[in-house]
């Protein structure tokens, strides 16, 4: 029997837009179905198992439910994706990684605060200018306040969330991969960054099915 390989999948391993175009011509259900068929063949023929923490699997299944994914596709997911909760108590993470994460979050919070201050000042100044010109209150709210909130949200998300771990499913993916000695599959920049810092094998969501196809080509 071939040596066992394990991979832990993030939700983005199925929902990435590039992957959706490559496997399903833009159709999410079709691309997920093709992906699950690849997982099934790889499990049977190549001894490759794919795992998800339960919290991540719920995120994935809820996402698919919003797109009214057919039951038969989700049955495949239940069959071929191994659900396992990581051992959060015994899995060892170097203290240096924890230190780096806390430092990274502090820097991001400072960036977020500066972003907030800038947005408030810009909106206040522009609002005062329009008010001094006699502009109506509802026009000020629509043109200045509404736009300021929209721009602020975009910049705030970039400052605090882009390139870091910002959810329990993300963290569980890394903990389970660390516990199993598995590779990580995702299209999430934060997961990639911290997987590499933990010394874990990382595969981009778009490259993972290509790798499986290449393996299968030589086996079949």
Output the pLDDT for position 142.
67
pTM of the predicted structure, to 2 decimals: 0.80
Report residue 11: phi and psi, to 5°. Answer: -55, -35
Return the percentage of the chain with pLDDT > 90, whole number: 55
The set of residues, in sequence order, having a beta carbon less than 8 Å from that of 34 and lying 6+ positions away, is 23, 24, 209
For 120-139, what is the mean pLDDT?
71
pLDDT(119) > 70: yes
- The whole-angstrom separation of Cα 14 and Cα 99 is 31
Which tens digits make up the pLDDT trace of 52-110? Answer: 999 999 999 999 999 999 999 999 999 999 999 999 888 888 778 777 877 877 887 78
Angle at 41 (CA atoms; ends 39, 46), nearest 5 degrees: 95
């Amino acid at each position: 029997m071939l040596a066992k390989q394990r991979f832990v999948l993030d939700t983005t391993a199925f929902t990435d837009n590039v992957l959706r175009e490559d496997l399903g011509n833009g159709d999410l259900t079709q691309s997920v179905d093709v992906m699950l068929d690849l997982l099934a063949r790889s499990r049977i023929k190549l001894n490759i198992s794919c795992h998800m923490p339960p919290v991540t699997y719920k995120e994935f299944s809820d996402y698919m439910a919003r797109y009214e994914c057919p039951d038969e596709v989700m049955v495949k997911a239940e069959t071929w994706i191994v659900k396992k909760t990581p051992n959060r108590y015994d899995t060892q993470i170097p203290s240096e990684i924890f230190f780096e994460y806390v430092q990274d979050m502090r820097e991001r919070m400072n960036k977020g605060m500066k972003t907030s201050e800038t947005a408030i000042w810009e909106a206040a100044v522009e609002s005062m200018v329009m008010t001094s010109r006699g502009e109506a209150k509802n026009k000020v709210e629509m043109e200045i306040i509404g736009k300021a909130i929209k721009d602020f949200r975009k910049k705030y998300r970039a400052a605090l969330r882009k390139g870091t771990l910002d959810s329990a499913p993300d963290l569980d993916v890394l903990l389970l991969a660390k516990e199993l000695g598995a590779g990580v599959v995702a299209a999430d920049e934060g997961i990639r960054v911290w997987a590499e810092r933990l010394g874990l094998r990382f595969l981009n969501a778009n490259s993972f099915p290509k790798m499986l196809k290449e393996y299968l080509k030589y086996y079949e």
